[in-house]
Structure 1
Amino acid sequence: MQLPAVFRFVATVLAVGASAELHERDVYVRHIAPGQLKRLDHYRAENARSLTAEQVDVLERVKRIVSDHATHDVVAAREACNAAFGHQECRNVLSGRSESANKGLLGRRAPDCECADQDPYCDDPHICKYKLSNCNFQKGCGLGGLYVCNGLCE
């Protein structure tokens, strides 16, 4: 990552520190979306034989959201995903997190932020609690990593 891009990325994080916000479009498209698209393609390839037409449609819809930073479709896409995959698998499809990122932490290291209060994806009965000063920033949380991580599932 070039130094100016790092500064823009850090400035974005600092600017949205008080509440969960979407990543700035340019930062997201360049630095987060490619990894999310690769993850979605990998998921589809690994599960190709067992995916229903409805599930394939959801995966394509999520890829469009990620590719275009189409934040207007997040809520409807999440509902479609839950209907097609069920809550737990949908969480994995949309955010890439199948279990808590904080399991097995060693020592006194602060845990990684694992959720965004606007798009939490915490396992039931946990909820996302705002903890930006008490957890390490991660690239992105929620559907396709669109949101700035700012909390822990507790």
Structure 2
Amino acid sequence: MNPKSTLNIAGHPIHPMLIPFPVAFFVGTLVTDILHSQSDDPFWPAASNWMLTAGLVMAALAALAGLTDFFGDSRIRSLRAAWLHMIGNIVLVLIEAVSLWRRVVQGPDFIVPTGLALSLIAVALLLFNGWKGWEMVYRHRVGVSEETSNSAR
């Protein structure tokens, strides 16, 4: 039997439904940071702050769903990929929270180069964390229904 997703709607895990939002917002932050580095337009730093804020809110929701699954099935907790995924996402959220805090305190001057560097690190972490999430689903079958597993074989 595959490890089950504890938090789901009609058998569909909620965590993978939520994760595209913080991913898009954090990548959007990198894009707006790059645009700010090339322009004096005050729109771009404001857009970065909004992207970071929305990303952190959605990351919190995705984290709640992910932690519910993590603690809901001991088989998930036994996976090294699950631990790396969780730790990587905690580090990602901490980096983005510090970045937002410094942007609010220091203003747009923080973005180049430090905020931009943090956004690059965040996107690199997104790639790693996404790879580990993919590994849990496609290698360890976390949250995959038995019917789907049997029809794929």
TM-score bucket (shorter structure): 0.3 to 0.5
- Asked which structure has the greater CA Rg, the reply is 2
What TM-score does the superposition give when structure 1 sets the normalisation length?
0.33
What TM-score does the superposition give when structure 2 sets the normalisation length?
0.33
